[in-house]
Each structure stands twice: as C-alpha cells, then as structure tokens.
Structure 1
Amino acid sequence: MSAWTNRILQEFPADLSRFWIACDPDDLLLDERVLHDLRERGFEVLPFEDPVAFRAEYEERYRAAWDRGEEGSSKALVLQLCGTDLNTLPWDYVRMGRKVSLSLADLIPRLSYGVIRQVDSEYHEVLFLAHNKHSTQPLGEGETKNFILTHIFRISPYLLNKPEDFWREVLRLHYRGAGLPDLLAKHVAAILKDTPLGGLPIVELLSSKSYMVRTVQDAWSRFLSQYGIQSDRTSNDDAMGARPEVLVPFEHPDVKVIVDTMFLEGALQPVRAHDLPRDLPEWIKVGLVDDPRALGELISEGAKRIAADLPAVEASYRDWVEMARRLGEIIARFNGLNAGTVEPIQQQIHALQRAADDRLKDWLFHHYADLPSLPAAKGPVMVHHVPRYLALRRNAGEDRVALLVFDGLAMDQWIQIREYLVARLPDFSADEGGCFAWLPTLTSVSRQALFSGLKPREFSNSIETTSQEPSLWTRFWQENGLRKPDVVYQKGLKRTDQLADLEEAIARPNVKVAGIVVDMIDEIVHGAMLGKRGIAGQISAWCDTGFVEKLFLLLAEHGYQIYLTADHGNVDADGIGRINQGVVTELKGERVRTYRSEALAASVPSDIDAFRFDSPGLPPDFLPLYAATRGAFVPKGDQIVAHGGISVEELIVPFVKIEIAKRTS
C-alpha cells in the first residue's frame, strides 16, 4: 500500500462503523487505487449523486442485510459527498453515519490549493511525497506551479532555451500520456513568451495531444519536402488555427528517438512515397512507406513494442485506455494490408491480441468493480458516465451538444474512419480518448447504460431490450434542467438520405441535446463473412458514400459540439461449440450467455471453455457466462465477428470530441 492511500485509509479504522459519510470536495476517495485498497479492507464507496438511486441501493444491498445481522454487499459503506455541506444529505444518514473530512488543502497544506486541485488524481501520490520531502514553507500560486512542473512533470520552463529542448519535452510528455493541465501550460507559455520559442502555440502543444500530433504530422510533411518528397496527407492546420510554418527539429537525437516510436506505434502516420532520393538518411524511412512490405515491417516492429509494454495487474485504467488506442492503431493498419503482406505477420498480431486480452482479464478481476464510481469530470471512465460528462460540458458553456453513438464501433474501426476524415475534411480534428463499456458488452446492457447515465442494476426491468433508451435519455436531461422538447433521440442512421429527417429534428432552435445512434457498423459486423479485415473494406466503402463527413458537417453547421463514442466494440472469434439449453438462457449471444439464477448458470456443460464473472453493477439475477479467450458459442471451427465478451477490442471503446472549424469562405 502506498503512503498516499495509507494516509487516506487512516481515516477509516476497521470495525468502527458500518456507515460512513466522507465530505470529499476533491474526490480523493474516487481514485482507483484508493477505491481498490478500501475494497480490500471491506469498505465500499458509493458517491452521493442521485438521492433516490442512492437510497434504493443503500436499502437493498446494505441496510436490509445489516438489519438481519448479515454482512451484506460489504462490511461497511462510505457515502462519498463531493462537498462539505452535510445539509444536502437526508437527516437519517447524518444521524447514523460516522463523519470524515478529506481535502487536498489538509493533506498537502503547503502548496496553493487553487493550483493543486487542478492536477489529475493520478499525480496525487507523487505530489504528496514531493510535498512532504521538498516543501518546507507555504508556496504561492506561481511557486506551486513551478514546484509541480519540477517534481511531477520533470520540466523546468526556464531551461527550455532551444527548439530541441522544447520539442523534446513536448514529445516526452505526450508519449507518456501526460499532457499538462491548462493552468500549467499557460504558466509555461507566459515564461517563454519573450524568448525565441514565444511564437509557438505553446499552450496547445503542451496541453492537447491531438493538437501536438497534427502539428508534428504537418511539420513532418514539410520536413520531407526538403528532400523532394510530397505528402499525400491533407494538412488541417490552417483551418484549425495552428501555425502552418511550425518547424520541428526532427534531426536532433532527442527528438528523433521519440518520433521514431510514434511512427512505429501509429500515433504518427507514415507518408507514402515512391522513388526515394538515394541520399535520403536511413532514419527518415521509418516515416515513409514506399511499398506494402515496408508497411508490414513497420506494423511488426510496432507490435513488438506494444507486446513488451502490456499493462500489469497494478496498472491504472488510463494505462489500459492508452494501450487500447495503441493496439487499435496497429490493428487498423494491419487490417488495411493486402493479403500477401498480411501473411508473414498474421500470427504475430493474433498473439499480441490474445496476450492483451489475457492481461486485461486478469486486471478486470482486480479492478473492474472500482470503475463505475470513478469521477467523470475530466472525461468518462465508463459509458454510463458519458451523459454526466456532457452535462458538465453544457454547464461549462457548450450550449448545444450532440452525442453520436456508433453502435459496435471498435477502436481500430474508429481509427480507420478518422484517417478517412483527415484526408477528406481539411477542417477536421479529433481530441481522442476512450472509456470502458459495461460487461457483458451487449447492446441492451451497455448502450442503455450509455444513454441513461445509470448502472445496469438501475434499469433491470429493461436490461434485455433497448426500447426504453429514448425515455431514459430524455429523463436524464430533464433531471439536469432541460425540458422534453429540448432533447432529441434518433436511431437507425446509416445512409445519407436519412440526414434530411435528422436535420429537421436538430435544427429547431430550442433543441439543446441530441442523442444519435449510427447503426451501420453493428449491421456490418453481424453480417460479416470475412472477419474484421473484411469489415475494414466494407467500412471504407461506407465512408466513400460521404455519410460520416456529411453527418459531422450537418451537426457543426447547426452549432453542436460533437462527441462520438460506442456502446461496445467487436472481435474476431472462433467457435467453441453451441450450448443447447433450450430456453434456459435469457439472452443468447455468441460471446456471452446470461442466466437468471445460479442453478441455471451452473447447468452449463463442463466441456465448454467458458467462465463466470459476476461484475458489480448488474442486477443480482443477471448472471453472465463468457466464452474464454476469443471463443464464441457457435459450432467448433466456425469463425465469426462478435461482441458481448471480455477483450480489449470489445470492452474499451473510443470517446472522441470532434472539432470542425467554421469555414470563412
């Protein structure tokens, strides 16, 4: 146990109380490491967000059992209040609960509270240790910013005197997935304002990975032009406000080594080129593709790096989201290869996929229970956090919000669509992230959670159908201050001739929120005959119809902030045999079966390679049985594309903010 989590857990002595109230304005308890260690000690944390939902869960899962003298779902329950005002709680809770106060101001008192509360929770531990070791007196706002830059991000802006120094730190930050908070990025920019680096878009480069990647990609194309090589990728920097003449010192050794890795893993896209100059330096070829075989070798090298860097069981959910993105880049490239180039590396890619899935499964058994309670203020961790996050964005000034749910879209398929849009829309960019679907990764479970903002146990009566999605979506927004006419829900979109009806719905001035289901990917998956590589070809053909770009342009023209996600992904799977149980199962999927009682779940034949994982958040009488590894409950030897199970490609889905600059002409 770390010093940070140990300090917080000191506030919760075992066996002192069954019901606790934690006034926690900085969401310290909603750190996945803290949640995990509390759970190991028999404490369960439940955020107090919806009074009705909290009371229902508290009464059903805890208090009723305690009144019977039983342990219930856990030995003790902690009501986590994101604030300090106990008057917001029901009086019986206040009377019964043992009170605890937690705050960054108390735990890290010598640093400016206004600054440290803007630092992500993943840095709390190292900040706590650095504070105790290096901070001897109270620091003001500016000194605290410098302290954090030095001890957390290992950056000293006063030492960034040369372009290669600046770019080394920018690339290093984002390669580790650790862009600076806006507050710190602006601090660095203010320090560098009057230096030769002051003309760069410093804030954007330090804080936004997507902006940095676009800028470096465009700079790479200009760099290649020095050797007479022209890029076939469209620059979008002019439209997005980036400086078109930003130069990156690619030839510097510190910059070169990170750029090399970004090309290998897919963050940067290599440029297709022919008839390369004879005097071209060898190291530049990592960012070039002069024949399909070269791209296959690039994918192979990237796969080796990812295989050596799979997250361990103690990793954070952020590590897995980043891994899913890196793996998606590799799979997207792999699925775009011709058959002759695929054959030499196919077994390597499949081995990587299986290894990632096995490692994820082990991690989920330790950490999945903590994910539903994690805060969504900086981005959704699970799909049911998405509506809450969008509500926060509306409160921050995004008046009109559109949520596009591409049913069944895996991370690699989003990357394929993204690359198509980058080439077609010069004013397009994407701020990319990811989140976890609900297990089992079935549409009626995960998509319903996505639109309702609820855990599946909270819509148990409709968990086997999606018919309640429109009413659940509308109810969420009514509870967040909108009227029913302000909310739109529309599903079944896949063709351009449907966009006129959508425009009629979203163009009404009163509409503030639109939830839109795009069904084409799921339809392609369920009819797939040639695996995910075949699906990639069908997605390309669908993109060529212009539907996706027209959909995005339509929403942008009507002033919507566009967010894209999926309810689940999909995976290539091999048949392990059918389970012939008649009508015993309630939901029959290729990758998962669900049962309504322990007796029925136990009736599965022992020769079927499957396992149970009864994840919290599901109704108590909804018991999933998962096909092991990449298996499917279809005849042995059959190969299909399916969803419902536990794999990186099914469980971790894209969550993307789409930017389309308004055209001035």
Structure 2
Amino acid sequence: MNGWRKQIVDQIPYSHHSAILLKDVDNLLSDEDIILFLQEKNISLVQVDDRAEFRRIYEDNLNNEKGKWIYRVTGNKEFTFPFDMLQQGYYVELNIHDIMPSFSAQIIRQLDSEVLDALYAVSPQQQGSLSNKDTCNFILKRIYKLAYDLVETVEEWMNLLIQIHDSRYPLAPILKDYIKKTIERKGISKERLLLIESKGIFYQYLQGQWEEFVKQIINNDLSVKDGYLDTDTYHKEHFMHSEQIHRAIQHLFIEGRLQAVEIDIERNIPLCAQNGVKQRSYNPLKDIEFLVDKVISKLSIERKHNKEWIEIIDTYSQIKDLQLHYNTEKETVDSLTSQIEAQFKEWILTDYKALAGLSPYIKPAMVHHILPHLQLKDEKKQALIIMDGMSFIQWKQIKRTLESNFTFEEYGVFAWVPTITEISRMSIFQATIPRLQESIKEEKAWKQFWNKESISDMHITFENILAQGGFDSKELSALEKSNNKKAAIILRNIDKLTHGAIQGLEGMYAEIDVWLKTNYLQDLLSHLKESGYSTYITSDHGNKESVGIGKVKQGSLVETKGERARIYSDLVFRDDAAAQYSSVKWPNYGFSDDQHFLVAESGEAFVTKGQHIVSHGGISIEEVIVPFIKVY
C-alpha cells in the first residue's frame, strides 16, 4: 500500500479497535486496492445508509469476536452515529483535502481513483494552493493532456470531443463544465457544446454526420479518385471533410461505437475512411485482428481492476458478435477466450471479493448496487428492464437492431457468484449482499426498496414477462398507470433460449435474431420513452457455452444442482465432489457460513459427458460481467 491510499489507511486505527465509525466525505474507501488491503486484515467494510438496518448489523457483529468492522457513511449526508456506538467504537473522518492540500477539494473529490493516482504522482511539483480554476487547468493539461484552450474551430472541437470520450479516464462533470465555459467564448454552438455531456449522444451525433458525409461524397460519386476523396463539392467548412477526423474515428467503427454505412456499389475507398464504409466485399478478418490485439494489450496489464475487465468483456463481445454474425475465425476467437478465462479466473479468485464494498454513487460495480444508484438520480419516472440471462455478447446483437432509434450509455456490472437467477437477480431487488437478504419474493423486495423512499405501492409496478409476438402496451401496468414512478420489467426470453440452445451460441444467435424482428423490445423502449420514463437495461447474469464432463451423482446431498454451479450445506459433500470432478471450490464471499459452492471450470458443465449446452452459474467472464445500460 503506497501513495494516497497509504495516507488514507494510516488514518484508520484498525489495529487497536474492532469497530470504527467512519465518515467518508469524499468516498475515498471506494477503491479496490484499499478494500482488498482491509480484507486481508480481516476488516469488513459496511456501507451505512439505513439506520435500522445499521443497528441490526452492528449488534449482530458485537457477538463476533473474530472480525473487525468499519461502518462507513459516504458523502455529506446528514447522519449521526448513535451515542452508544460512539462510546464503544472509534470515530474517523476522511477528507480529500488532507491528502492533496495543494488542489481544490471541490474539484478533486469528483475524480475517480485512477485520476487521483496520476494527480498524486505529479502533486509534489505543485507548490502552494490552487484555486478551482487553476486546479481544473492543472488536471486537464497535466493528467488528461487536453489542449482545450487552443480550440478555435468546430473541427478542433470535434477532435477534442473524440479525445475526451475515447479516454480511459472519465471526465468529471465539474471538468466538463469548465471546458464548456472556456469553449463557449470561441463561438461554438450550444448544441455542439452539449456533446461533451454524454458519450452516447456524442457518438449518435457523429453517426448522423458520417452518414450524411457518405451519402453526399461517396454514394453520389463526387468522387473517389485514386484512393482520395474529392470533397470540392462538399461544404469545406463542415468538419467531416477532415481526414484527421476520419482517422480519429476509424477504430470506433471496428469497436461498434459507430456503425459503418453500406454503399451501393464497390468503390476504391481511401484508407482513412475504409472502416466507416461497408461494401459487399467486406471481410471481418481485419476488424477481428484489430480487436484481438486490443484485448491482448489489456491482458498484458499486470495489475487489472474491475474497470479493465469491463473493457475486456466489451471488446471481446464485439469480437464474438462478428464471429457469430459472419461465421468466421472460430479458432482465433477460441484461443483468445482461453487466454481471457485463464487470467479472469486468477483475478476473480483473489480480487472479486472487494467489489461488494465499492460505492454505487458514481456508477454501480455489482448488481446489488443498481437500485441505490438509481435512487440517487433526479428522475421522476424510472424503468428498470432486466433481460434475464443476457450476456455482453447478446447485448451487442440486440444493440445493433436498436441503435438507429435510441442512444445508449454503456457500462458493465458484476453479477453475484454463483451466477444463478435466484442469487444474482434477488441481489438486484434487495440491493444488498446475499448474506443480508430476506426470504421474500422479488416483487415485494422491489416495492420495499422504494417504500423506504416514501413512494407508495400505487406508484410502483412489477412485471415478469416472456415477451412473445408483437408488443401490446395494454399488457404492461407500468404503461397503463399514468401516475407510476418506478417500473421493474423482467424479460425472460434470453434465459429461455439459453436453456433450450441445443445448437450452442450459434443457435441462440439465430433465435434472438428472430425475436428481435418482432420489434417487441424496440416498441417497449419507445412506449417507455413516450411515457416519460428514464429507462435502464441490465441483466442478472450472463451465459457460457459449455461441454459436459459428467453428472455429479450425489442425490439429496446437494441443495442446488445447477449445470455449472452446485450449492451444498455440508462442506464435506462439496469437497467430495470437487475431488472427483474438474471444478472450482468457490469461496462463499457475501454468503452465510453454512453455504458452500462448487462451480464448473470455464467451458465445462456438470451434465452428460460430451453434451453441448449454453448455461450459467460459473465464474467465466461471460457469466459474471453483464451490461448496465442507460437508454436515451
């Protein structure tokens, strides 16, 4: 432990106190490395939001002499720890200003941990205290390397936006506002200034501009001469005439951020525009090779965090989508899959346990963070669509059919392991780790969560649907009740197709394609948008194509007999099965001590030897990391 993290940890007297009451004003403990360090010291981090629940957890832990606990209140919320707890425990308050006093706390408290790492490394070079303005300038110039103050034209503004939205460091809202105030003096329109706010909306804008460019320049043969675009007849002041812009966005087409435009006849397209134009002779080989290299580059990072794994599954899913769509390069993709799964298994067995302790306030890290994250949004009506069993791979296929009508902000969240519906989906609705969950139905849990926010049942709806045939808005109470505020909609289609996928992922791909042609999902999203909902799409777990290694014959000795996961109440029986079959003894992170788990290795299942299935329950990256999407 070093850097700013060491300064944080040094303020927590964990060696001398078993209960620490901590006010984390700037959310500093929401860091994987800090949480893992505390866990290695047998210290559990408990997020405090509800006083009654906090009291219950605190008193339960008083009787446990083995562990130590940090009870954390995040942000500047009004919360006073009870007097008796303050007498028994030790109170600490953490503040970002104590870590980097040279910079404005108002600015740097909005930065994520990776940006803080970079800022801390250069902070000794700054003597004296900086104002808000100077702190913004320092961060944008030294950390993000953005020459925002040199922007004079629309083309330069678009290049800057590409750089911002393509950065691995997210730009904090306060930094976006600072850039906008600087750029608005340069005469850039308000519409274009707002493109800094959302990556999805910016890419949608670029998509429209590119389609217009292709239509006017390429499809109309205006013309392409000797591999160069003749743009004399196109408005020179339009930023899309720039080859620099073309080069800057080419990888976005390969990665699926932008969609290539199909053209009517074969043409000699210049290199700087080739990826944005799809001709009849298109071969995905080069695109797959580009994406494979990108994943391998990510895999070479020695110390990976959850953010890197989300980036890996996002790119890998684009590769799989190309492979399934064009039925090509299976051996290349299978080889990459093996590399990913080997490293992901190593990571998940050591670092996954830290994720539950991360804060949901900036974005959710795990599925049980989703509702607390939505709770923080200033949105009058919210709809959460849970696509049961949807992996990132299926999302890529679904997204392609929807993106002409909608814009998406895409993130990834981690499911609970074992990745089965009754565990991971219940974690979404109860918004807590499995060990603290009640034995109630999903609908009741959904309503209870929002009841705590003073929203009555009359303003809350819950649907669990197998969406067949055309969409009918009258079948959804969320759309029939004009006064509704919170809508949960579970669509079971993908999970249903998963368990019937006798032709593997290729068969599932074809079946999903058939379902998408009914336009059910598109019509549902349109109606929710028209009804004023802010809509989110997520999944409870993904799925994995696997081959049977043989059925585990233990009869009633096992509580849950999943195809890729088995749950035991007796450790001896779990270990007996583990000794006989290729498997992983999964630690019961987040569960009570009387539950024990056995999960299949990647690509294997506890079914008849040699049988091919698509299932879930295990620890493969395709099962564990699922999409979390904001729909516009």
Q: Same fold (TM over 0.5)?
A: yes
**Residue of structure 2 in register with 1:82 after alignment:** 74
Partner letter of residue 110 of structure 1?
A: S
Please give the residue correspondences for 1:170-181 in structure 2 after superposition, counting only pairs within 5 Å.
170-181=161-172
Q: Deviations over 1:405-442 (max 9, x none)?
A: 0101111211211110124x3xx211111111111110
**Residue of structure 2 in register with 1:318 after alignment:** 307
Tell whether 2:25 aligns with 1:35.
Answer: no
In 2, the alpha carbon distance for the partners of 1:39 and 1:313 equals 21
- Distance apart, 1:120 and its partner CA: 2.6
- Distance apart, 1:605 and its partner CA: 5.5
Using a 3 Å threshold, how does the CA distance of structure 1 residues 442 and 203 change in structure 2: closer, same or farther?
farther
Instruction: Describe the SS at the equivalent of 2:383.
Output: strand
**Residue of structure 1 in register with 2:353 after alignment:** 369
With the length of structure 1 as denominator, give the TM-score of the two structures: 0.87
Aligned length: 617
Instruction: Describe the SS at the equivalent of 1:30.
Output: coil
Gaps of 5+ in 1: 67-71, 232-244, 463-467, 660-665
**Please, which of 302, 307, 311 is the counterpart of residue 296 of structure 2?**
307
The question of whether the paired residues in 2 share the 8 Å contact of 1:573 and 1:642 is answered with yes
The question of whether the paired residues in 2 share the 8 Å contact of 1:402 and 1:561 is answered with yes
Higher mean alpha-carbon deviation, 559-568 vs 255-264, is at 255-264
The question of whether the paired residues in 2 share the 8 Å contact of 1:221 and 1:230 is answered with no
The question of whether the paired residues in 1 share the 8 Å contact of 2:214 and 2:261 is answered with no
Higher mean alpha-carbon deviation, 576-585 vs 265-274, is at 265-274
Using a 3 Å threshold, how does the CA distance of structure 1 residues 293 and 105 change in structure 2: closer, same or farther?
same
Please give the residue correspondences for 1:91-490 in structure 2 after superposition, counting only pairs within 5 Å.
91-134=83-126, 136-161=127-152, 165-195=156-186, 198-199=188-189, 201-229=191-219, 247-248=239-240, 250-252=242-244, 255-278=245-268, 280-291=269-280, 294-310=283-299, 312=301, 314-337=303-326, 339=327, 342=328, 345-393=329-377, 396=378, 398-423=379-404, 425=405, 428-459=406-437, 461=439, 468-490=441-463
Using a 3 Å threshold, how does the CA distance of structure 1 residues 230 and 265 change in structure 2: closer, same or farther?
farther
Higher mean alpha-carbon deviation, 11-20 vs 222-231, is at 222-231
Partner letter of residue 229 of structure 1?
A: N
**Residue of structure 2 in register with 1:662 after alignment:** none
Instruction: Describe the SS at the equivalent of 1:514.
Output: strand
The question of whether the paired residues in 2 share the 8 Å contact of 1:574 and 1:631 is answered with yes
In 2, the alpha carbon distance for the partners of 1:311 and 1:47 equals 33
The question of whether the paired residues in 1 share the 8 Å contact of 2:402 and 2:522 is answered with yes
Q: Deviations over 1:86-144 (max 9, x none)?
A: 9622222211112222101322233222222222333223233333332x222222222
Using a 3 Å threshold, how does the CA distance of structure 1 residues 356 and 537 change in structure 2: closer, same or farther?
same
In 2, the alpha carbon distance for the partners of 1:449 and 1:168 equals 41
The question of whether the paired residues in 2 share the 8 Å contact of 1:564 and 1:655 is answered with yes
The question of whether the paired residues in 2 share the 8 Å contact of 1:4 and 1:125 is answered with yes
Partner letter of residue 383 of structure 2?
A: A
Using a 3 Å threshold, how does the CA distance of structure 1 residues 118 and 541 change in structure 2: closer, same or farther?
same
- Distance apart, 1:16 and its partner CA: 1.8
Partner letter of residue 602 of structure 1?
A: D
The question of whether the paired residues in 2 share the 8 Å contact of 1:437 and 1:652 is answered with yes
Using a 3 Å threshold, how does the CA distance of structure 1 residues 565 and 64 change in structure 2: closer, same or farther?
same
In 2, the alpha carbon distance for the partners of 1:602 and 1:563 equals 40
- Distance apart, 1:9 and its partner CA: 1.3
Using a 3 Å threshold, how does the CA distance of structure 1 residues 365 and 51 change in structure 2: closer, same or farther?
farther
**Residue of structure 2 in register with 1:234 after alignment:** none
Please give the residue correspondences for 1:553-572 in structure 2 after superposition, counting only pairs within 5 Å.
553-572=526-545
Using a 3 Å threshold, how does the CA distance of structure 1 residues 456 and 83 change in structure 2: closer, same or farther?
same
Instruction: Describe the SS at the equivalent of 2:576.
Output: coil
Higher mean alpha-carbon deviation, 472-481 vs 307-316, is at 307-316
**Residue of structure 1 in register with 2:234 after alignment:** none
Instruction: Describe the SS at the equivalent of 2:464.
Output: strand
**Residue of structure 2 in register with 1:626 after alignment:** 599
- Distance apart, 1:532 and its partner CA: 1.3
- Distance apart, 1:59 and its partner CA: 4.2
- Distance apart, 1:246 and its partner CA: 6.4
- Distance apart, 1:218 and its partner CA: 2.6
Using a 3 Å threshold, how does the CA distance of structure 1 residues 552 and 315 change in structure 2: closer, same or farther?
same
Instruction: Describe the SS at the equivalent of 2:22.
Output: strand
Higher mean alpha-carbon deviation, 624-633 vs 163-172, is at 163-172
The question of whether the paired residues in 2 share the 8 Å contact of 1:592 and 1:624 is answered with yes
The question of whether the paired residues in 1 share the 8 Å contact of 2:474 and 2:480 is answered with no
Higher mean alpha-carbon deviation, 78-87 vs 5-14, is at 78-87
Instruction: Describe the SS at the equivalent of 2:342.
Output: helix
The question of whether the paired residues in 2 share the 8 Å contact of 1:215 and 1:246 is answered with no
Partner letter of residue 344 of structure 2?
A: L
The question of whether the paired residues in 1 share the 8 Å contact of 2:310 and 2:412 is answered with yes
Partner letter of residue 371 of structure 1?
A: L
Instruction: Describe the SS at the equivalent of 1:101.
Output: strand
In 1, the alpha carbon distance for the partners of 2:318 and 2:394 equals 9
Using a 3 Å threshold, how does the CA distance of structure 1 residues 137 and 84 change in structure 2: closer, same or farther?
same
Using a 3 Å threshold, how does the CA distance of structure 1 residues 487 and 15 change in structure 2: closer, same or farther?
same
Partner letter of residue 413 of structure 1?
A: Q
Using a 3 Å threshold, how does the CA distance of structure 1 residues 191 and 249 change in structure 2: closer, same or farther?
farther
In 2, the alpha carbon distance for the partners of 1:64 and 1:311 equals 45
Using a 3 Å threshold, how does the CA distance of structure 1 residues 110 and 392 change in structure 2: closer, same or farther?
same
Partner letter of residue 189 of structure 1?
A: K
In 1, the alpha carbon distance for the partners of 2:149 and 2:181 equals 11
In 2, the alpha carbon distance for the partners of 1:326 and 1:33 equals 25
Instruction: Describe the SS at the equivalent of 1:309.
Output: helix
**Residue of structure 2 in register with 1:611 after alignment:** 584
Instruction: Describe the SS at the equivalent of 1:541.
Output: helix
**Residue of structure 1 in register with 2:505 after alignment:** 532
- Distance apart, 1:212 and its partner CA: 2.5
Partner letter of residue 212 of structure 1?
A: F
**Residue of structure 1 in register with 2:63 after alignment:** 64
Gaps of 5+ in 2: 222-236
In 1, the alpha carbon distance for the partners of 2:136 and 2:578 equals 60
The question of whether the paired residues in 2 share the 8 Å contact of 1:313 and 1:363 is answered with no
In 1, the alpha carbon distance for the partners of 2:420 and 2:53 equals 23
Partner letter of residue 25 of structure 1?
A: V
In 2, the alpha carbon distance for the partners of 1:613 and 1:55 equals 30
- Distance apart, 1:614 and its partner CA: 1.4
Using a 3 Å threshold, how does the CA distance of structure 1 residues 305 and 548 change in structure 2: closer, same or farther?
same
RMSD: 2.5
- Distance apart, 1:267 and its partner CA: 2.5
In 2, the alpha carbon distance for the partners of 1:112 and 1:145 equals 9
- Distance apart, 1:85 and its partner CA: 8.4
The question of whether the paired residues in 1 share the 8 Å contact of 2:355 and 2:366 is answered with yes
Using a 3 Å threshold, how does the CA distance of structure 1 residues 597 and 53 change in structure 2: closer, same or farther?
farther
Q: Deviations over 1:543-580 (max 9, x none)?
A: 11121111112212221111110101111111111111
In 2, the alpha carbon distance for the partners of 1:7 and 1:641 equals 47
In 2, the alpha carbon distance for the partners of 1:322 and 1:246 equals 33
The question of whether the paired residues in 1 share the 8 Å contact of 2:544 and 2:623 is answered with yes
- Distance apart, 1:581 and its partner CA: 0.8
Instruction: Describe the SS at the equivalent of 1:516.
Output: strand
In 2, the alpha carbon distance for the partners of 1:504 and 1:461 equals 26
- Distance apart, 1:534 and its partner CA: 1.6
Please give the residue correspondences for 1:43-62 in structure 2 after superposition, counting only pairs within 5 Å.
43-60=43-60, 62=61
Higher mean alpha-carbon deviation, 367-376 vs 83-92, is at 83-92
